[in-house]
Amino acid sequence: MTMLAHLTVAAVPLLLPLLLAGAEGGYRVVCYYGSWAVYRPGDGKFDVEDIDPTLCTHLVYGFVGLGEGDTVRVLDSWNDLPDNYGKGAMARFVKLKERSPTTKVMVSIGGWNEGSTKYSDMASSESRRQRFADNALAFVQKYGFDGLDLDWEYPAQRGGKPSDKDNFPKLLEAVYNKFHAKGLLFTAAFGASLKTVGLSYNIPEVSKYLDFINVMTYDYHGSWDTTTGVSAPLYADPTDASDEAKTMNIDTCVRNLLKLGAPAHKLNLGMGTYGHSFTLQDPQHHGVNAPISGPGEAGPYTRQTGTIGYNEICEQKNKWTIVWNDAQQVPYGYSNNQWIGYDNVKSIKIKSEYLKEKQFGGAMVWSLETDDFRNVCGEGKNPLLHTINAVLNGGTLPTGAPTTAGSTAAAQTGGGGQTAAPTTAAPQPTEPLPPATELCDHAGYVRDKTDCQVFYECVASGGQYLVYKFKCADGTYFDTTSDQCNYAEQVAC
């Protein structure tokens, strides 16, 4: 059990500034770890010991889920826990504090695949909110974490109810009060688009009950669109055609949050160590907003069409013609009929300077395992994360970044964007698999044979498979080519 659990309430006001900003009192650098990356092949395999905790003021373990009786549910017991010859990844994650005593370690509950329905039901009742708060506190104390991060995606959406917007602050208050009484952190990850913020969050109310907010300022564009687009543009592109498309950028969303009353010092600007990929309809039309025929080819490590890690991009940098988009302050690349929009050292530096200008409390990184953590590309280990630290808290900027083929302020072919569904890579073990069951014969995702909205996650555990059921939002089906929910008309069902 963490030492923090034994602190008295009177000690909390003195303790929390250190928890929030780290011992140095500088900007926060909040780093998420997708624990399923341990199952990736070759140089893409990323385990707890590959984390450099000195680069993060806060480390967040993703994910646990919401279980029966409003409990916290471990999703991959073989990897997460030491029981039954498990790998004990959570305990090893907490132990990283020995290498960096000022770093705070947290666990995140939720994520895209958890959906919204269970959280909506739990938050609708005062007694259930309190029960969840008690269970969450007990879980965090049992495993030695410094706090809990709530990643409900999203209140009043994806199976939620309109009343979630009112119930969400009540849930946050219940958890916040119990955690602060024990000197523990409570934070949340928020969607950033104008539509999501409007539907899901009463910004002044929710801000009261969170130590900080990790704003997911990415996934603005992806293969769910009809045209190419960078995952996280800082500004709009001149070729953005629709009114909605013109809002799908970081600056518009940040200004909206601040206008609604979000305290800047509680906000962490989200930055991705990955991009989205597309297959072009016409290789000769390869600018922003060029027509696409579907997601791009899967990378060798993430193995998911439409999503590609920075490490996968930079390891094949000779394959891509890289263009710097002056309007959006981000790069993109193309090669034959393949197109990628992502962040590199230059754009991450600009975004880090931007958050300082906006007086944010820090940065959030999703996620550690797709930075170039092995220095295969020659920019040094973790070049994106090092860039954030250099701008925010001092240090040396990485060198040797890939050169660009040119700049562009506008690109070819108009077309708008749509609200995006963030992606999460499926666990794919490389170790010997447990015996097959009727539904699962491998770890990963399986679509229901009779209902294309329904899919299952098969998690190897203790010689068998744990099976978790999910349902895509109305109007979307589970796409077996990309292992994510996609618009129904784009899915073969």
Asked if residue 401 lies in contact with residue 377, where contact means CB atoms within 8 angstroms, the answer is no
Predicted confidence (pLDDT) at residue 302 exceeds the cutoff of 70? yes
Which one, of 468, 363, 441, 432, lies nearest residue 64 by Cα?
A: 468
Distance CA 467, CA 477 (A): 19
Q: Would you state the pLDDT for residue 326? A: 97
Distance CA 419, CA 245 (A): 9
Q: For the chain, give the mean pLDDT.
A: 87
The backbone torsions φ and ψ at residue 157, rounded to the nearest 5 degrees and listed phi first, read -140, 165
Q: How confident is the model at residue 437 (pLDDT cuts 50, 70, 90)?
A: low
Lowest-confidence pick of 55-59, 343-347, 398-402: 398-402
Q: What confidence tens digit (pLDDT) does each residue in 342-356 have?
A: 999 999 999 999 999
Contacts of 386 (CB under 8 A, 6+ apart): 55, 380, 395, 396, 397, 398
pTM: 0.80
Which one, of 183, 187, 330, 177, lies nearest residue 248 by Cα?
A: 330
Is residue 312 part of the annotated active site? The answer reads no
Q: What confidence tens digit (pLDDT) does each residue in 164-215 have?
A: 999 999 999 999 999 999 999 999 999 999 999 999 999 999 999 999 999 9
CA dihedral 361, 363, 364, 367 (to 10 degrees): -160
Distance CA 331, CA 321 (A): 10
The backbone torsions φ and ψ at residue 105, rounded to the nearest 5 degrees and listed phi first, read -115, 130
- What domains sit in the chain, N to C, each tagged with a CATH number? 3-408 (3.20.20.80), 426-493 (no CATH)
Predicted confidence (pLDDT) at residue 413 exceeds the cutoff of 60? no
Predicted confidence (pLDDT) at residue 423 exceeds the cutoff of 70? no
Q: What confidence tens digit (pLDDT) does each residue in 266-284 have?
A: 999 999 999 999 999 999 9
Place of tokens 């140095």: 24
Q: Of all residues in the chain, what percent carry a pLDDT higher than 90?
A: 74
Which residue of the set 114, 153, 369, 379 is catalytic? 153
The backbone torsions φ and ψ at residue 434, rounded to the nearest 5 degrees and listed phi first, read -65, 170
